[in-house]
Structure 1
């Protein structure tokens, strides 16, 4: 079973955030947590419902971001990794 990230959430995930940081926010009825890389791009995504400790129960996605030698993005794809 494959899950997809909707276009509105993808738009939110194209933003750059603080490098090497866990960013948490609400998106509609979902709690979202994303870990960023050294450049501030979201690389790991947890989408679902957070408990009292902040742990999210739901879906896990991983981002494949490939750049050319000039730093331009060649490939940007989110893979569904399963339930968490």
Structure 2
């Protein structure tokens, strides 16, 4: 399942490297983690619990770069399945 176009646009931006960003998107809680370049690479999407964890789905991003540079050639998000609170 592809991500919503507006969410994908938000996740295509560069953020602080190696950080965790908590946000809300269309009534759902989201948290994403960035890599050393500030690119979001892990997304948690669902409902946030009082302890801060999210019950919902987890996505990971695959990034392909132009050879010999840091320019992103292409990227896509894969649904890794449901995440349940304990």
Report TM bin, short chain. Answer: over 0.9
1:45-56 equivalence runs, <5 A = 45-56=43-54
Root mean square deviation, CA, Å: 0.9
- The runs of at least 4 consecutive aligned structure 1 residues that moved more than 3 Å come to none
1:24 aligned to 2:22? yes
In structure 2, stretches of 5+ residues that fail to align are none
Deviation readout 1:8-61 (Å, 9 max, x if unpaired): 100110111110011110111100000000010000000000000110000100
How far is 1:70 from its partner?
2.1
Match of residue 44, structure 1, among 42, 45, 59: 42
**Corresponding residue number in structure 2 for 1:81:** 80
**Aligned position for 1:7:** 5
SS of aligned partner of 1:74: strand
Q: How many residues align structurally? A: 82
- TM-score where L is the length of structure 1: 0.92
1:21 and 1:34 mapped to 2: Cα distance?
8
